Amino acid sequence: MSDVRVAGVGVTSFGNMPEKTGRELFATASIEAFEDSGVPREDVDALLYGNFMGELSEHQGHQGPLMAEAAGVQAPATRYESACASSGTAVRDAVLRLRNGEDDVILVGGAERMTNLGTAGATEALAIAADDLWEVRAGTTFPGAYALMAQAYFDEYGGEHEDLAHIAVKNHENALPNDKAQYQRAIDVEDVLEAPQVSSPLGLYDACPLSDGAAALVLTSESYAEEHDLESAVSITGTGQGGDRMALHDREYLARSPAARDAGEEAYADSGIGPADVDFAEVHDCFTIAEVLAIESLDLFQIGEGISAARDGRTTADGETPINLSGGLKAKGHPVGATGASQIAEVTKLLSGKHPNSELVEDATTALAHNAGGTVASATVHVLEVSDA
């Protein structure tokens, strides 16, 4: 089975940009991706675009053709919506289409405009990724839902808020040299523990910010890359997708993420690697507890061991398996429709030596990108490796 080449990547800065429209953001990311790739726009066979809340934040549906126009592409365009896993799902479909020969070049990515809604408006918009009938109408928001998951984890496997604080500190530290990150400032454990409580046991620094931003990837088939002599240093060699029940009260587990486990197992099998082969990973840390659940679900750490991994230095930049060298959602930011594609972009730059943190993993050849939707009712996992050619 042929690999899919990452020919070019583009990511806007993530942050508070309420004056920027979604189409402006995606146009900026696309320009960077095309310039990075050397692929002409007229060779693009399709645009696969991730976006979650466009109807609410911009009163705009049918965004596929709109974003194709913004990117300067004349090709069939489809919008993907899977909550915070929207562009991760789009990337997965792009990989499958390129592999099966349906297309040779796909522009894939996503964007989200959030801060123009304000905190209350964005929180309400995000909440519709939960079960409206049984969760949203009862007043559940995602900080509350992840707090329930954190408490369930503590009850079942142990741990405390200070363990989570080390995750936030680590990811802020990783974001310091990343000029695309929303928060380029260091914090310490005391900052996290003394911050206002959002939903016990989680505080302000346990949560990712509201963000505006976009990401774009130019993906090609292996044959196209070879025929056009593209300098694509990184390939997507594995893809997987998993799902779980929507509402927390319907699930078998609160302290595990079966959707991520299923996606990870599929991606490992697809690529022919195992967890021990992973040099580093970008995982979906919308809340600090989410990083714990992700690294355990991906078998990077045993169940019950992920909670102390950052505190013990195992997931730090100089640890055995660095996690979220970009700063993660926690510090880089989380414009939800763009996040999955931006993770692929960050991993690509890290593996190809083009990231400010590449020197921390200069011998790395294999990495993971894990993208989750809602309380991980949806998940995608991609394996990226340094290309043979």
pLDDT at 388: 74
Residue 8 has pLDDT above 60, yes or no: yes
Domain contains 176: no
* Integer angstrom CA distances of residue 186 from 196, 250, 315: 18, 39, 17
Position 228, amino acid:
H
Q: Which residues of 114-149 are buried (b: 16+ CB within 10 A; e: fewer)?
A: bbbbeeebbeebbbebbbeeebbeeebbbbbbbbbb
Domain contains 168: no
How many distinct structural domains can be found in the chain? 1
What does the pLDDT average to over 123-147?
93
pLDDT at 325: 98
Domain contains 281: yes
Strand 202-203 and strand 4-11: the pairing is unpaired
Q: What is the pTM for the complete model shown?
A: 0.97
Domain of residue 95 covers 4-117+209-384
Domain contains 197: no
Which three-class secondary structure state does DSSP give residue 385? strand
pLDDT at 231: 87
Here the tokens at position 76 are 């069939």
What does the pLDDT average to over 240-251?
96
166 counts as catalytic: no
Domain contains 345: yes
**Domain CATH number, residue 260:** 3.40.47.10
What does the pLDDT average to over 85-93?
98
Residue closest to 375 by CA, chosen among 263, 281, 243:
243
Q: How many C-beta neighbours within 10 Å does residue 40 have?
A: 10
Catalytic residue among 84, 161, 166, 382: 84
Domain contains 187: no
Residue closest to 128 by CA, chosen among 384, 373, 387:
373
| Per-residue pLDDT tens digits for 39-59 | 999 999 999 999 999 999 999
Domain contains 251: yes
What does the pLDDT average to over 257-283?
98
284 counts as catalytic: no
Position 280, amino acid:
F
Task: Using pLDDT thresholds of 50, 70 and 90, give the confidence band for residue 270.
Answer: very high
Residue 389 has pLDDT above 60, yes or no: no
* Integer angstrom CA distances of residue 94 from 103, 143, 298: 9, 32, 22
Domain contains 162: no
Residue 154 and residue 160 in contact, taking contact as beta carbons nearer than 8 Å: yes
Catalytic residue among 161, 334, 370, 382: 334
